[in-house]
A and B are shown apart, each in its own frame.
Chain A
């Protein structure tokens, strides 16, 4: 009972983090590890701060909010 409740809570917390972009850097690192880390001469992963700047700029291209 308590266990499934905690599991549910964790799931919701996960969703909130994902929705807000709180976990964006962690997901970026995963993506980087999976696709770029093993490539020869690949640039190293961005730092948290560098990534955040790029991510933010990318997010606000185009129409993001309406009436």
Chain B
């Protein structure tokens, strides 16, 4: 039983959280302070962690602290190894936190700050964190088996294959859309392009240092790399002012996309120690440092949020992506609320390191709460901008027009004040030529972060802060791109190994080159289309990524629900069943609309037909007509891809329901694959370090 003062404290936390939530939801003024959002988030996370997560661990999963974990039983000093929970937490968080929670909320801010904020909080607490924790738990009870293997063992072969294909497809779409974000951030920005380019040799230098000069001295090498990265941000400004050098880095989207594609291929073929591993060190340190700095800055400066709670774009006419609030806010913010990808990490390295079953609450549930908090900060950084400025940066030229005058007129007609002079001043402050139509989310996030940091450290530094923020996003987008391409390559090699043994060897050079080329070509295609699409590509690719990611989450929750029912815990099945039902509803609705909507900004077929009609009647200008055929083909492809995702989703869910029904009425089902109980030999409060 809790003592009275603890009860009183939790009562106060609950009260504060309620007041903050009510304040956010009922607020109808000019602007609201970001502190309200931070307070609401902190209280909700605390209560959810203390009560809901603890209840799930104790009653639903019934964790057993005396049971030996796979790390203890199979300790090999390598992948299986009992590890201090803070260390596991660090590894787990570094693995799950990528660019997704930064980009999604920035895009979803077009609906206003309220819908995204609510979904980030509620989605994480009831959905994402639950998914991460239960997947971690079930994988831990199965010697760290992967999501695909668990789906096969517990539900059947169909689920296992679906998880495998789903993972591969998500990877392709994810890399394409992230590539697009980086390309859009570098487009005609010599400063950003030269800084991002400099990160490659810096990473290689760090790689050589760690391997040859001072083997294994990871911290030394990383410190050196971080100093060089900061210098590269300053050097970028110098390049930008140098007449001869700036033209070398001043490019259109398409050539930059080709460079990113070529880079992706090189990164997948080069040995890990040279590029991927050192880049990952740098990006992890930069990421943690910047997120921490941003949190401190928001707490100290308490910026005002200028975006309204809701905008008129909840009706589906939003410039950044088409589609109504329901279901598209839930698709747009995937990472940060619930992300199926996390299930792959929770059933990968992490379960093999846990020293005690009790750690799953902090690592699985707590890790996701921290990721959700990162998404909250991205939401704040996007909404502290004046809405007019936010829309000017994020609206594609296909919607607001190519010329600044047209864009300003269009945005003013929506009721958001912004002037051409204001945008020019802002661009000058940030050291850019123009900030119009810098879509993809990275530039607007960078402007938001720069203005928050700028308030603290003086305006003269704005341009440096802006390009630091761009470098920060680019460096870990490129890490995801490298790592994702490599994982795609391994999966493909694994698959090809079934047909030809030699092709399945991960170190066989022809196989490496062929499979890397296939993976890079796949995402390269979507990236290319995204760049040539006048509506900006983000409008197509981000929802597609969201649908795919939520589909993977639905597979993970299906596996968990199936295991709960098979273990005789039908009465607790709602814990995973409810978020699953919600995901099925939003994913199916979104997919249905993306396929069948008559609105050309939402429906793939509608867009394809519209473009065909315009092409046939000669209504398109020459530059658009030349790419129209490719865009039409792509719209069809995307429609079938979406259909494929939703079919896979339903097959897995129905298969899971079949298994649950059979299990409930006592018909034979696949046996639970849990490893038998073995008592732990580790002392009660044992820590390795």
Contact = CB atoms under 8 A, between A and B. Distances in A.
Contacts of A8: none
Contacts of A7: none
Interface string B332-352: 001100010110110011000
Q: Which of B174, B218, B272, B486 has the most CB of A within 10 A?
A: B218
Contacts of B95: 64-66
Given A15-B86, A66-B339, A66-B342, A20 B211 contact: no
Given A16-B219, A25-B216, A66 B277 contact: no
A14 B215 contact: no
Contacts of B484: 65
A63 to B, nearest CB: 5
Contacts of A19: 87, 90-91
Contacts of A25: 216
A49 B213 CA distance: 10
A52 to B, nearest CB: 4
B583 interface: no
A17 to B, nearest CB: 7
Q: Which of A28, A51, A67 has the most CB of B within 10 A?
A: A67
B345 A66 contact: yes
A65 B218 contact: no
A6 to B, nearest CB: 17
A47 B509 CA distance: 27
A28 B81 CA distance: 12
A19 B222 CA distance: 13
A20 B226 CA distance: 14
Interface in A46-67: 48-49, 51-53, 55-67
Contacts, number: 106
B276 A60 contact: yes
Contact of B78 (A15, A52, A58): A58
B348 A56 contact: no
A37 interface: no
B211 A65 contact: no
Nearest to B284: A20
- The prevalent SS among residues of A at the interface is helix
A59 B216 CA distance: 13
B281 interface: yes
Contact of B79 (A49, A51, A52, A58): A58
A62 B273 contact: no
Interface string B471-502: 00000000110011011001000000000000
B480 A66 contact: yes
Contacts of B490: 61-62
Contact of A48 (B216, B280, B342): B216
Interface residues of B, number: 50
B281 to A, nearest CB: 7
B277 A65 contact: no
B215 A63 contact: no
Given A18-B84, A67-B480, A24 B341 contact: no
A67 B174 contact: yes
A58 to B, nearest CB: 6
B507 to A, nearest CB: 10
Given A63-B487, A64-B483, A48 B215 contact: yes
Nearest to A36: B77
Contacts of A62: 348-349, 487, 490
Nearest to A65: B483
8 contacts: A21-B218, A24-B218, A51-B216, A53-B211, A60-B483, A60-B486, A62-B487, A66-B480
Interface of B: 77-79, 84, 86-87, 90-91, 95-96, 98-100, 167, 174, 178, 210-212, 215-219, 222, 272-273, 276-277, 280-281, 334-335, 339, 341-342, 344-345, 348-349, 479-480, 483-484, 486-487, 490, 545, 549, 689
Given A25-B216, A56-B272, 18 more contacts: A15-B689, A18-B87, A19-B91, A21-B218, A52-B210, A53-B211, A59-B277, A63-B167, A63-B348, A64-B345, A64-B483, A65-B484, A66-B335, A66-B345, A66-B480, A67-B174, A67-B341, A67-B480
9 closest cross-chain pairs (CB), A and B:
A67-B100, A66-B341, A65-B483, A49-B215, A31-B77, A52-B216, A19-B90, A22-B218, A22-B219
